[in-house]
A = this chain, B = another copy of it.
Amino acid sequence: MTDATIKTAAMLAIGDELLSGRTKDKNIGHLAEVLTMAGIDLKQVRIVGDEEEAIVEALDALRERYDYVFTSGGIGPTHDDITADAVSKAFGVPCLHDPDAMGLLSEMYQRRDMEFTDARQRMARMPQGSRHIANPVSTAPGFVIGNVYVMAGVPQVFQAMLDTVVATLPAGTRILSRSLPCPFGEGDIGTLLGAVQKAHPETSIGSYPHFDGKRFSTELVVRGRDARALDAAAHDVAAMIEALTMEREGAKSKDLGTGELA
């Protein structure tokens, strides 16, 4: 299913707090959903701490390989916010106070009668040659350089920035999906499902186990970009579930009177 028109993406989430467990990331899952809706394939995610070397290395590996790289975190005003510096280093350009960003921030703080401190001015720093990503929530812009989209870590701000960004990206062919609840555990369906997958190579069939504390069930998700192929695969998955259900009910009526299984 390699298709040159399908764009690929990676995410780099930045922040010690994600690696210490203090903050549970909320941006990865959100980005994943938004990109899927936009028909862009998220292929890899990395999380690194607030260390310049780690950020530069991950960024270089990802931007080389994927069409888009989206980052979250590290663009605030404090000493541990070093994403702008690290991105500048990766691109080999100076990290400067952007005049437009300085203007936006200065005006906003003036309007609020608040001091435009050195720390706040840090938020206007970005790699030379960047374009802004608007921040309707708290003004300080994200930025784009090359194929790298640098956004805030605070989820409300990340989401607002991402909405702006995604609207500017060429839309891919959206991945369609069909979800089928299945009352059987993966062990009951694995072999049959493997055969269904083999018969429908244009689709990707995922099996997601759910454990309710006593027994496993699964949700089967058929994905693909071609609606007809998707329908055909989903039809065969549904037939498989029905056949297994009838088989189980046959077994139950034979077992009648033996009581519940342990």
Beyond the given pairs A18-B32, A23-B208, A76-B186, 18 more chain A to chain B contacts, judged by CB atoms under 8 angstroms and listed by A's residue number, are A18-B28, A18-B45, A19-B44, A22-B206, A24-B29, A44-B47, A45-B47, A76-B190, A79-B197, A111-B262, A112-B261, A117-B190, A119-B194, A120-B187, A120-B190, A123-B187, A154-B209, A156-B211
Q: Is A107 an interface residue (CB 8 A)?
A: no
> Which of A23, A42, A47, A194 lies at the interface centre, i.e. has the most chain B CB atoms within 10 A of its CB?
A47
Closest 8 pairs between A and B when the two form their complex, measured CB to CB:
A119-B190, A21-B33, A21-B32, A120-B187, A79-B194, A77-B190, A45-B47, A24-B29
Chain B residue numbers with a CB within 8 Å of A47 are 28, 44-46
Query: A118–B33 Cα gap in the complex (Å)?
Result: 34
Q: Is A207 an interface residue (CB 8 A)?
A: yes
14 A-B pairs (CB sep. < 8 Å): A19-B43, A20-B175, A20-B177, A22-B177, A22-B208, A43-B48, A44-B46, A77-B190, A79-B190, A80-B207, A81-B186, A114-B188, A123-B187, A156-B213
Interface residues of A in 24-60 (CB under 8 A from B): 24-25, 28-36, 41-50, 54, 58
Chain B residue numbers with a CB within 8 Å of A114 are 187-188, 261
Q: Is A78 an interface residue (CB 8 A)?
A: yes
Number of copies of this chain in the oligomer?
A: 2
- Residue of chain B at shortest CB distance from A9: B19
- Residue of chain B at shortest CB distance from A196: B79
Chain B residue numbers with a CB within 8 Å of A187 are 77, 109, 114, 117, 119-120, 123
- Residue of chain B at shortest CB distance from A24: B29
Chain B residue numbers with a CB within 8 Å of A262 are 111-112
Contact A119/B78 with A138-B216, A206-B17 known, Cβ cut-off 8 Å: no
Chain B residue numbers with a CB within 8 Å of A109 are 187
Smallest beta-carbon distance A78→chain B, Å = 4
Q: Is A134 an interface residue (CB 8 A)?
A: no
Q: Is A173 an interface residue (CB 8 A)?
A: no
Q: Mark A188-231, 1 if CB is under 8 A from B, else 0.
A: 11110110011000001111111101001000010100000000
Q: Is A67 an interface residue (CB 8 A)?
A: no
